Structure 1
Amino acid sequence: MRITGNKPLSGVHSRGGKKKVDGEGVAFQPDPGGDGASAPAVSSSSAIQGMDALLALQEMRLETDQRQVATQRGHTLLDNLEALRAELLGGIVSEDRLASLAKSVEDRVESGDPQVDGVIREIELRVKVELAKLGRFSD
């Protein structure tokens, strides 16, 4: 998009000079009094506590939950099915791929989430159907 017609804004006016001060014309001046409260001293222990917290966070192990494991397994099964489809279209199906698919169907992981488990069971069923078509699965 091309923008044409650069004309200045008409409602904007610049004001020159200094602003006038209301009242007697006295400007702000800081109070040099000696009663001012001083800031408390900062101790170095707060920095050490911050470092301790960072080190403790680094030492924590993040445990993989069953849902992530099951989801990863589903993705792996789908990738293997896609590779099997490509091999079928090419006319050559490797025995290693079929053996890998048969082994992966046997390893069942429950995620604890009924929806995820349902999707994984549907993927497993599809793998079993493809293996049965090729004569490699019997339940």
Structure 2
Amino acid sequence: MRIETNNRTSGVGKGGSAGRSGSGVDFIPAGGEAPARVASAAPMAGMTGIDAILALQAVDGPLEGKKKSLRRGRSLLDTLDEIKADLLVGRVSVGKLDALVGMLAEVRERSLPDLDAVLDDIELRVRVELAKFGRFPAA
């Protein structure tokens, strides 16, 4: 499709009379004759943006807490399975029991009362087994 127009644009690059000051009067701002001094600008803090980004990255997202809880729960269940296998054989590793006491201290979230009750029972059983070896970890 071809568009033809009869109007030609002429004089686009030529200056009109509006751009020229033929009257000899220059533009003067209304505030006075001398330009106002600009106050010196305060130095910009360039690291502020980077610090804010790093701080946001350090904050865990809503899914990160779930992932951590799942990892801790899985490692706790794996350790319990190892201790169960040791109990069935007749030998219990004191190191695994100590590790389990430490893991139980980390797992507590105090948000689910039923889960906390189960963890209390597990911790009691672990402390009984450690007491059999003469070990009494701090509560």
Question: Larger Cα Rg: Structure 1 or Structure 2?
Answer: 2
TM-score, normalized by the shorter chain, greater than 0.5: no
Q: Which has the higher contact order (CA 8 A, sep 6+)?
A: 1
- TM-score, normalising length from structure 2? 0.43
TM-score if structure 1 supplies the norm length?
0.43
